[in-house]
Structure 1
Amino acid sequence: MNELAQETSPYLLQHANNPVNWKAWNTNSLSEAKEKNQLVIISIGYSACHWCHVMEHESFEDEAVAQTMNAHFINIKVDREEHQNVDAVYMKAVQIMTGHGGWPLNIIALPDGRPVYGGTYFRKEEWINVLEQLQELYKTNPEKMIEYAEKLHKGIAAISIIKKQKTNTVLEQKALEPLILKWKKSFDLEFGGMARAPKFMMPNNYQFLLRYGFQTNDSELLDFVNLTLTKMAYGGLFDTIDGGFSRYSVDMKWHIPHFEKMLYDNGQLVSLYADAYKLTKNPLFKEVIEKTLSFISRELTDESNGFYCALDADSLNEKQHLEEGAFYVWQKATLQELLKEDFELFSEVFNINDFGFWEHGNYVLIQNKSLEEIAVLNKITISELESKKKAWETILFLEREKRSKPRLDDKCLTSWNGIMLKGFVDAFKALKDKSYLTIALNNADFIIKNLWSSDGNLLHNYKNGKSSINGYLEDYCFVIDGFIGLYEVTFDEKWLHNANQLTDYCLEHFFDENSGFFTFSSNLDEALIAEHYETEDNVIPASNSVMANNLLLLSIYFHNSYYEKVALQMLQNIIPKIDYPSAYSNWLLTFLNFGEQNKELAICGEDALKFSSLSNEKYLPHIILAGSETESNLPFLKNRFKNDETLFYVCQNKTCDVPKNNFEEVSNELKFSH
C-alpha cells in the first residue's frame, strides 16, 4: 500500500494517491528491502519541480507502471529538500553514470542501497522497459549487478573523499587577479549574468564581484554587477506585480522564468540587492527589496513566524488544468481591457510586443528601458510615470488575485529560514525599516522554539507543529550566519552566544579532522553509502564555505584561536583547487575577510546603536562590527566601555588603534583610498 499519507512533506503528499506502493525514506523501508531481497527504486524530487509533476502524471499515476513497480521493487519517494544528504549521494551516482543530473532523480539500487542504474526524467514506456530489464538481470545474474554496484560505489566514495592540504597558502589578494580575468570572459555585457542559457541568479557570485570590484576600484566589475541586477529586476524573472524572483530564466535576457519561487533564492537576493542599494542608492534596487519582502510576508510566512519553502511553477489555467506559468502570464486583450487609454504607454514600459511575447498569445512582463528614458520619449515627468506604473501594478495585482494561485510548499526548512532571516536583517541595515527587524527577530524566536532541541541539535524541517529530521550542516551554518547578523543590528550578545553554542555543536558532531572539513550529516545519523562534504558553492553557498566564514567572525568576537585555525585550514584546502571561481565565490568572500583590507570596528557607549545604524547603512563589506551600550564581557569588547562617552575602536590584525570619539573621523578612516 501507499504509505505517504502519513507524511507531512507537501511533495510526498502529492504522491499519496498514486497506485504505486510508495514508502518514505526511513530505516524500516530500507530494512524491508534487505529482508525481501528486492531491488529499491529511490525517486527524488521536490514540490515545485515541473518535470517531477510530469513524470508523476505520465508514470506514477498509471496502473500499468504501478503494477511493474509494486511487483518487484521496494518504492521509496524522497523529498530532496528534506533529505539533501540522500539526494547529494545519489546525484553523484547519476552524474557518474550519465554525465549529468537534475530532478526528478530516479535510482534503482540493490537492497543495501548501492545504486546500479539511474537517470532523471523517464517516459512511461522507457521506465517500464528499464525496470523489467533490471529485474530480470537481478533474477538471472545478480553477481553481474553486484559487481557493477561495487565499482560504482567505489567511484562515489572516491569523489566524496577530501584530503587535507599540507600547504600553508599565503592568502594574498593578488592571487585572485587571474581568476577574475578568466571569469570576465564569460560575462554577458548586454543583459548581465553569464553568457549562456538557462540563467541562474547565483547571488553569491554577485556578492563577491560587488565586493571585489568595490575593494579594488574595478569600475568594469561594478558596472557589470549593476547591469546584472538591473536586468534581473526588469522581469520576467522578477515578478514586478507581486514581488519575488523565480528560480531561473530559460533565455539570455532573464525573461521567461521557470516560474517557481523558492525561499532560498529570494532570501539571498534581498541580501544582494540590499548591499547594492547601500553602494548605489539605486531606487530600483530599493523597490525590488520592498516588493520581495512584501511577497514573503504575504505568501510565504507561517502564522508562527516561520517561512515556507516555495510556490510551485504550475497553477490551474482557465480550463482548470495545471499549466506552468498560468498564474503569471497576460493576454493582450485582457491588458487592453484593464488599462484602457493607458495601454499604449503600459506596452512601452512592459513590452507588449515581440520583445515581451512568450507563446500561445501570452506575454510575460519585462522592461528593457529605464523609466527615465520612457518618460523623456513620451514627454511626461518621471514622477508621473512612476505613479502610473504603481497604479497599473495594483490593477494587475487585484486581477491576478482572482486566478488560481500556484501550489504552496508549506513546510519550513531551518536552513532556508536562516537565509531569509539574514535577508530581512540586511534589508533593515540598508533601508532602516523597523518592521524588517521585527520579522527577523520573530523568525529567530521561531527557530529557537521549534527547531532547536533540548539536546542541543537543530532539526531540519517543521510543519504542523512537527519536526522529524535531524539537522544538516546547512541548517547550522545559515542559522549561525543569521544570528551573527542579528547581533550586528541589535548588539544583543545572546545572538552571538547562540551562534557560538551551535558552532561548538558542529565541531563535535560534523567536523572531520582528517579532511579538515565538516560533513553534511551529523555523526549521530544513520550512515549512507558514502560520506558527503559540501564544498562547491551553487545556487546556495556550500555549507562548508559559510561555516568557514562563521568561524572567522566568531574567532574575532570570542578571541578563539582554534576557530580561526580551522577556518584558515579550510580556506587553504580549497584555494589551490579553484579553477573556475563561480563555483567558489562564497569561499572567495571568506578569502577577502582574511585579507589585508579587513578591519574591525567596536562602538562602545550609550549611543552605540545609533552609530551602528549609521555604519550598517553604508556599504562597508570589509568591516566586522561589534558594540555595546553598557559594560560587556564579550572578549572583543572587554574593558572598552566608558560612562558618558561613546568610543570607536578601529582594529586590524589583532591590534586596535587608540579609541576616538569622532564618528566622522572614524568613517573616513574606514573608507578605501583608491
Structure 2
Amino acid sequence: MAKTKKANRLLDESSPYLLQHAYNPVDWYPWGEDALNRAKQEDKPILVSIGYAACHWCHVMEHQSFESEKIAEVMNQHFVCIKVDREERPDVDAVYMDALQAMGLQGGWPLNVFLNPDAKPFYGGTYFPPQQWLTLLRNIATAFTQNRQELDTSAEQFAEHLNRSELEVYGLKQHELQVQEEELKQMYYTFSSRFDKKHGGLSPAPKFPMPSNYLWLLRYIHHSQNEQALKHLHLTLQQMAYGGINDQVGGGFARYSVDEEWLVPHFEKMLYDNGQLVSLYAEAYQATRETLYHDVVYETIAFVERELKSPEGGFYSSLDADSEGEEGKFYTFTKNELHQLFGSEEPLFSKYYHATAAGNFEHGRNILYRRISDEAFAEENELELEVLQDMVQNWKERIMEVRSTRVRPALDDKILCSWNALMLKGLADAYYTFGNKHFLKLAIQNAEFILKNLCKDGRLYHSYKNGKASIDAFLEDYALLTSALIRLYEVTFEEKWLQKAKELTVYTLNNFFDEAEGLFYFTDKSSQKLIARKKEIIDNVIPSSNSVMAINLHLLGQYFDEQQYEELSDSMLAKVNELIIKEPSHLSNWAILYYYKLAHPTEIAIVGPEAPEMRAELSSFYLPNVILAGTQDISDLPLLEHRVAIQGKTTVYVCQDKTCKFPVHTAAEALEQVRGKQESEKFPAL
C-alpha cells in the first residue's frame, strides 16, 4: 500500500509555486519570522531555496531531490529549510541573488543559498543533481559544526558587500545633468555593437525579448533617422514574431529563446513579457504601419485574455513550460500527428511551419515557426494570398482543437500588481494605436480590479489570490502602476487615473526615497527588514523600478507643474548617466528618459467637445515625446488651466519649452506645429 504523503507548512500558502512543494518530505517553511527565529534558537544553518512556478529546472530539482525521503532527511536534520517564490518576494530574491554573484557564481533559478542563523549568506548555487546535492548538504553541515568561525566571517563579509550602495558598486558619482546629442549617438553605437545582424536581437544566445531596448531604439530612430537602426529593429521584431518564441497558433511569447534564431523557446509564458511586447509592437506599428506588428498585438492580447485573465479582471502570472513532465509537449507535434490531422494539406502546413520527419525539437517533435511573410510564401507556392490566409486560419483552429484535448501546462494563478500594471499599460498602448474599444474595456477593468483589490488605505499590495491581497508592495508595484495610470489618462482623458498616479507617487516619495543618495529603495520603510535594503537601477527583463520612477516624475512634473518632480528626475538620471553611455542595453529605460530630456517634450492640450476624437486623430502619428492632456469641458489640471474651446470649437494648444504656438482647431494643424514642418521628425520608411 502506497505511503500517504504528509503536508508541510507550505500547504497554508497561496503561491502556486510554494503549494507545489507542500507535500515534499522536506520540512519547508515559507519566508518569515517563524523560520528565522527557529534557526537562531536551534543555532542551525538556513537553506533558502528560491524559484518560481514556471521554472523548468526548479521542477526537475524538486522531483529529483526535494521529493526524496533520503535527501529530505538530511535537509531536515541539519538545516532550517525555507522555500521562496521569487515572484512573491523579489526583495528576498534580489538580496540572495546578489550574494551568489558576489561569490563569483552564475545566477539563475532554482537559487539555493546557505545562510548562518543571522540570515547572512556563506555559500550558494543554482541547480544541483541529487547526489551532488546530498554531498553538498553533508559537507556544509560538517563545515558549520567544525569551521563555524570561518563561515561566520565569510557571511559577515558577504553581508557587508550586500549593504554597499548601488552607486558605489557601479562607481557612480553625482553630476549635473547635461544631455548631449553626441552622448545619445554614443549610446546607439555601443548598443549596435552587439546587434545580431542575421537574426536580430543582441548576441549571444540565449536571447530575451528585452522590450525596453527596442522601445528606446524606436525613439532613437525617430530622432536620428538612422536607417540601419530601423533595419535592425524590423529584423528583430520580425524574427521574434516568426520564431518559436512566439506561439504561432495561440499567440503569446515565451520567456526567452535558447538559440540565436528565436526558434527554440523556454516554453513558459510570463505576463510581464507579453504586456511589454504588446506595448512594443503597438508602438512599432504606429511608427511603421507594418501589418505583422498589428497581427502580433491582436494575437498576443487574445492569448492573454483567453488564458491569463481572471473572472474579476486581473491577470494571472504565467503558464508553465512543462506538461506531463515534458517541456513544450503541449505546443509541439510529430510529423505523424500532423499528417493524421491535416492529411493532404500536411506537406504545405509543414513547409509553412518548418515541421520535419526528424523534428526540430526533442523526441522527434516540431516547434512551429516561420521564416518569411505570407505574401512571399504565397508567391513561392503559387497560391493566392487570400487562399493561403484562409488555410492558415483553418490550420490554427484545428491545432487549437487538438490542444484543447491535451494536458495543459500548469497555470500560476496569483495576480501580481506590478505585472498587471505592465499588461494594463500594454492594453492602453494598443488602444491608443488601434482604437479598438475592447482593448480599452480590458484596460479599465484591470485598472479597477487593481485599485479595488490591491490598494487599501492608500497603500498597495504585491499579490492577490483567492480574494485576499498580501505582501507589502515593492517599488516596482508603485512605479509600474503609476506609469500605467498615466498612460490610461492619456488615452481616456479621465483625470481620476492621473490623480491616482500622483497619490501613489506621493506615497512612494514618503516611504521609499533615500534622501542621502537621491534614489528609491526597493522596499517600503515599514516592510519586514532583510539583511540589506536594496535599490534597483539596472534595467532587466522588467525595467528597473528607479528608472520607471524617474520617468514618472518627469511626466507628472509636466502635468502638475511640479518643478521638484522634474528636478528629482534630472538628478536621478544624472547619477546613472555615465553608466547609460557605457551599458545602454542594460539601462535602456534610463536611455528613454535621456532622449526625453534631450529632445524636450511637446505638450499637447486638447479642449472642447471633440477632445477624444481629436486625440484619436493625433494617435495615428508616431509622437514619442508628447505630453498629452485633454478635457471636453474645463479642468483644474495645471496643463489645462486657462485653456478653453475658442468659440465653442475643439481647440488644440501646442507648447514646448514653456512657449506656446497659436491655438488651432484641427489635428493636421497641431501636427504641423509639433513637427515644426521638419521632415526629419517623420519616421523613416521601412
Q: TM bucket by the smaller chain?
A: over 0.9
Contact 1:89 1:530 in 2 (8 A): yes
Q: CA–CA distance in 2 between the matches of 1:603 and 1:217? A: 29
Equivalence for 1:60: 66
Cα displacement (A) at 1:98: 3.1
How far has the Cα of 1:355 moved from its partner?
11
The 2-side partners of 1:417 and 1:32 are apart by: 36
- CA–CA separation in structure 1 for the residues paired with 2:105 and 2:545: 24
Does residue 1:50 correspond to 2:56, yes or no? yes
3-state SS of the aligned residue for 2:29? strand
* Aligned residue in 2 for 1:13: 19
Residue 335 of structure 1 and its aligned partner are, at CA, apart by: 1.0
61-70 or 147-156, which deviates more: 147-156
Q: In structure 2, give the amino acid aligned to 1:488.
A: E
Contact kept in structure 1, 2:25 and 2:69, CA below 8 Å: yes
Give distance in 2, aligned partners of 1:130 and 1:493: 58
* TM-score normalised by structure 1 residue count: 0.97
Q: Is the 8 A contact 2:205 2:257 kept in 1?
A: yes
Q: Structure 2: how far apart are the matches of 1:656 and 1:465? A: 49
Match of 1:551 among 526, 539, 553: 553
Q: Secondary structure at the match of 1:459?
A: strand
Correspondence for 2:469 among 467, 470, 490: 467
| Deviation, structure 1 residue 359 | 2.7
CA distance in structure 2 between the partners assigned to 1:283 and 1:355 by the alignment = 33
Separation in 1 of the partners of 2:666 and 2:72? 74
User: 1:522 — aligned with what?
Assistant: 524
1:334-483 correspondence runs (5 A): 334-353=337-356, 357-454=360-457, 456-483=458-485
Give the stretch that moved more between structures: 33-42 or 302-311: 33-42
Q: Contact 1:349–1:371 at 8 Å: present in 2 too?
A: no
Which string of whole-angstrom CA distances, capped at 9 and with x for unpartnered residues, describes residues 616-635 of structure 1? 23211121211111100001
Counterpart pick for 1:313 among 316, 321, 335: 321
Q: Which moved more, 1:47-56 or 1:151-160?
A: 151-160
Structure-2 residue corresponding to 1:237: 245
Secondary structure of 2:355 counterpart: coil
**Partner secondary structure for residue 163 of structure 2:** helix
8 Å contact from structure 1 (residues 173, 592) kept in 2: no
3-state SS of paired residue (1:86): helix
Q: What displacement does 1:440 show?
A: 0.4
Cα RMSD after superposing both structures = 1.4
- Cα deviation per residue 1:131-163 (whole Å; 9 max; x = unaligned)? 222222222232111111111111222264558
Tell me, which stretches of 5 or more residues in structure 2 are unaligned? 1-6, 681-686
Letter in 2 for 1:665: E
Superposed, 1:31-430 pairs within 5 Å as 31-158=37-164, 160=166, 162=168, 165-316=173-324, 322-353=325-356, 357-430=360-433
Residues 268, 420 of structure 1: 8 Å contact kept: yes
CA distance in 1, matches of 2:184, 2:287: 22
Post-superposition offset of 1:99 = 3.1
- Residue 566 of structure 1 corresponds to 568
Aligned match of 2:535: 533
Contact conserved, 2:358 with 2:364, CA < 8 A, in 1?
no
Distance 2:181 2:66 in 1: 53
d(CA) in 2 for partners of 1:267 and 1:559? 30
> Please, which of 485, 488, 491 is the counterpart of residue 487 of structure 2?
485
Question: 1:599: how far off?
Answer: 1.1
Give aligned pairs, total: 668
In 1, the alpha carbon distance for the partners of 2:357 and 2:508 equals 53
Structure 1 position 344, deviation (Å): 2.0
Alpha-carbon contact 2:177-2:571 (below 8 Å) kept: no
- Structure 1 residue 669 displacement after superposition: 2.5
Cα distance, 1:194 vs structure 2? 1.1
Tell me, which stretches of 5 or more residues in structure 1 are unaligned? 317-321
Output the CA distance in 2 between the equivalents of 1:574 and 1:521.
Answer: 20
Instruction: Report the alpha carbon displacement of residue 356 of structure 1 after superposing the two structures with TM.
Output: 6.9
Q: Give a deviation string over 1:506-563, Cα, whole Å, max 9, x none.
A: 0000010111110000000122111211100011100100110001000000000111
* Structure 1: distance between partners of 2:432 and 2:620: 5
C-alpha change, 1:266 and 1:355, in structure 2 (3 Å) is farther
Structure 2: which amino acid aligns with 1:660?
V
Give the conservation status (yes or no) of the 8 Å contact 1:214–1:222. no
Q: TM-score, normalised by structure 2?
A: 0.95
Deviation digits for residues 228-281 of structure 1 (CA, Å, limit 9, x no counterpart): 111111121100111100000111110110000000000000000000111222
Cα distance in 2 for residues equivalent to 1:158 and 1:299: 42
The aligned amino acid for 1:574 is: V
Letter in 2 for 1:238: N
Deviation at 1:354, TM superposition (A): 8.4
Distance 2:559 2:167 in 1: 33
1:196 to 1:421, Cα distance in 2 relative to 1, 3 A: same
